[in-house]
């Protein structure tokens, strides 16, 4: 149960961070946003990892798995998520990413021998359907990409697969070496290296350069996203990945809440939104049943 609570807190942190990112999304690009939030995460996570991890007990196999998990997510998945907002639109992008718990749960059952009850499967379905419907409602007035096409859907699809497999690798690494603080720090450093390489080879194509303005706009969501990743790592160390993954997708429920509280873009809560929220909450309850 402790892992489920941590997963919900992680989703809440991710949700608030998404609101902060969206406020300045059109003032930067997906590479600079990814780079900024990753820099902030490294600044926060490494002091914690060094302070609370006995480095004399480091397991090299687990360390390599942490690197692979970090390469998949946040590195690749984060780039594809922010790029997907441009190519597929915010609503479609979020809806596609919302399906990754299905891939995660099926893979966890096949590779990690995890088992879900009938109630758990129903709960997983409730969460995914509710998240997709709420995502479409929240974003129905957002700007759409001007040159979107079916090819633009490839990016969020690949991103969702990257998240799914990263969860599996991350869980296996925690099974070998249960040090979530070190794991999330290593993952963030891997992501930072990837973004610096991308920035190096694509900077000549950009009209603007990475600057203090990007740090100023996105340092706050960087802290929130790092907190979310840390909580999700600890949740995975306490609970099955097939349980944690769908609960993390309640992020959109918190986006709805924080949008209403802080941005006031939604003047009233419709019956449809309430019904979708109840569907997600029901899913969380069902998926929590052992």
- Residue ranges per domain, the chain? 2-114+144-245
Asked if residues 286 and 130 have their Cβ atoms less than 8 Å apart, the reply is no
Burial of 144 (0-12, 13-18, 19+ CB in 10 A): exposed
Round to whole Å and give the CA distance between 237 and 289.
Answer: 18
What angle is formed at CA 19 by the lines to CA 140 and CA 122, rounded to 5 degrees? 65
**What's the pTM?**
0.83
User: What is the chain's pLDDT, residue by residue, as a tens digit (290 residues)?
Assistant: 789 999 999 999 998 998 888 788 788 888 898 999 999 999 999 999 999 998 889 999 999 999 999 999 999 998 898 788 777 776 677 778 878 888 888 889 888 888 888 888 898 888 888 877 776 665 555 544 545 556 678 888 899 899 999 999 999 999 999 999 999 999 999 999 999 998 888 755 566 788 889 999 999 999 999 999 999 999 999 999 988 988 888 887 887 778 777 766 544 556 777 787 788 878 887 887 76
89: left (phi over 0), alpha (psi -120 to 50) or beta: left
Task: Tell me the two tokens of residue 4.
Answer: 């489920």
Asked if residues 162 and 70 have their Cβ atoms less than 8 Å apart, the reply is no
Round to whole Å and give the CA distance between 40 and 228.
Answer: 13
């Amino acid at each position: 149960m402790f892992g489920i609570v941590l997963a919900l807190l992680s989703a809440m942190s991710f949700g608030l961070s998404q609101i902060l990112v969206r406020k300045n999304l059109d003032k930067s690009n997906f590479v600079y946003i990814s780079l900024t939030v990753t820099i902030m995460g490294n600044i926060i996570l490494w002091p914690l990892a060094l302070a609370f991890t006995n480095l004399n007990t480091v397991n090299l196999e687990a360390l390599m798995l942490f690197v692979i998990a970090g390469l998949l997510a946040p590195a690749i998945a984060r780039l594809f998520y922010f790029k997907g907002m441009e190519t597929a639109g915010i609503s479609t992008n979020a809806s596609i990413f919302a399906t990754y718990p299905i891939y995660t749960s099926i893979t966890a059952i096949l590779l990690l021998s995890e088992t879900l009850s009938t109630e758990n499967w129903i709960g997983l379905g409730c969460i995914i359907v509710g998240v997709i419907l709420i995502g479409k409602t929240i974003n129905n007035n957002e700007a759409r990409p001007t040159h979107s096409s079916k090819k633009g859907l490839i990016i969020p699809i690949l991103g969702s697969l990257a998240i799914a497999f990263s969860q599996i690798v991350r869980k296996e690494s925690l099974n070998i070496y249960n040090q979530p603080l070190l794991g999330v720090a290593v993952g963030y450093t891997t992501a930072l290296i990837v973004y610096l390489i991308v920035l190096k080879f694509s900077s000549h194509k950009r009209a603007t350069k990475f600057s203090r303005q990007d740090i100023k706009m996105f340092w706050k969501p960087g802290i929130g996203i790092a907190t979310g990743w840390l909580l999700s790592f600890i949740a995975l160390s306490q609970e099955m990945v097939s349980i944690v993954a769908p609960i993390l997708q309640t992020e959109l429920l918190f986006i709805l809440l924080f949008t209403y509280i802080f941005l006031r873009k939604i003047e009233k809560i419709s019956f449809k939104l309430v019904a979708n929220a109840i569907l997600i909450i029901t899913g969380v309850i069902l998926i929590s049943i052992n």
